[in-house]
Structure 1
Amino acid sequence: MDDIGTPAGEGWERVIEDMHATGETYREDGYDVVELHPGDVTVVDDGSGFDLVVSGEEFAAVQSMVADASLTETEVFRAVEGGRVYVLVVVRDGASEAALCCPLYYAPDRATSLREYARESGRLFTYVRSLSADDAVAVAFDDPELFFPE
């Protein structure tokens, strides 16, 4: 996996704050919301997306949500700061009122494979896993251009 640096800094803190506010807005609208707090975010070796390492509790919540909901609606919020792109992705199922909030980050100059994969395939993935899990939950995004600054 491509090491894309640590998320330290105000940009990461802001995306986490935005995630909490966005999650609360969805909860007020009646949604069941899972917010992820990854301890690590990397770009997968083949460039197909991001690998997020989360707590066992968050991983179990994601597994449960994807088993019960069709997360096909996507919102992407993006900011560039300090040489990193910070992204908050919300995937949701309006029918079952379920929403998953995924904060991500990457350094554009170290994520060439990500952009190439997105252009060639027309999609990106987020692979959510815990340190203790042997498998990952894959969440697909069909409009990867939203992840990249102009």
Structure 2
Amino acid sequence: MDEHGTRVGDGWEQVIDDMEATADAYREEGYDVVALHPGDVTTADDGSGFDVVVPGEEFERVQAQVGAAALDQTEVFRAANDGVVYVLVVVRDDDVGVAVCCPLYYAPERIGEVREYAAETGQVLTYLRSLSSEEAVAVAFDSPELFFPE
């Protein structure tokens, strides 16, 4: 159980394994890939999406990728297990060959504000940050329905 009361268990290990396999597949296609390994995933304070804490080196690589790429293509893979929803988000820029893989998890009963924000704005935001920095990289997703089970 994480500090927010969400049981992450075996499903989290599976999504990390899936992320690594997805990242390897993109690397084989010639992409420069950043595969993120979150230490914590929470909902953003303003309810606009997810706040994801990643290791400092991964955060620095994402900052560099965002500055050099449009990251305008998105894939979202989702699965539910034992009351937890696991999401693997891949954002990429095919023109410059970069991709970022970000796994997330949440308990459906804890994301009412995120669903409301998504319904009002048509997007979900993900804020990536490191423990040592107040600075964040925000990624907007224009297909919020991909994040939520029916």
Please say whether Structure 1 and Structure 2 have the same fold, judged by a TM-score greater than 0.5.
yes
Checking the alignment, whether the CA contact within 8 Å between 2:8 and 2:84 is kept in structure 1 is no
Checking the alignment, whether the CA contact within 8 Å between 1:92 and 1:98 is kept in structure 2 is yes
Percentage of matched positions with identical amino acids: 66
* CA-atom RMSD in angstroms: 1.1
Question: How far apart, in 2, do the equivalents of 1:15 and 1:5 lie?
Answer: 19
Match of 1:137 in 2: 137
Match of 1:5 in 2: 5
Match of 1:109 in 2: 109
SS at the partner of 2:67? helix
Question: How far apart, in 2, do the equivalents of 1:138 and 1:56 lie?
Answer: 16
Structure 2 regions of 5+ residues with no counterpart? none
Counting only pairs closer than 5 Å after superposition, residues 1-150 of structure 1 correspond to structure 2 as 4-6=4-6, 8-150=8-150
Amino acid at match of 2:135: D
Deviation at 1:128, TM superposition (A): 0.5
Amino acid at match of 1:58: E
Q: How many residues matched?
A: 148
- Structure 1 residues 4 and 148: CA distance shift in structure 2, 3 A: farther
SS at the partner of 1:19? helix
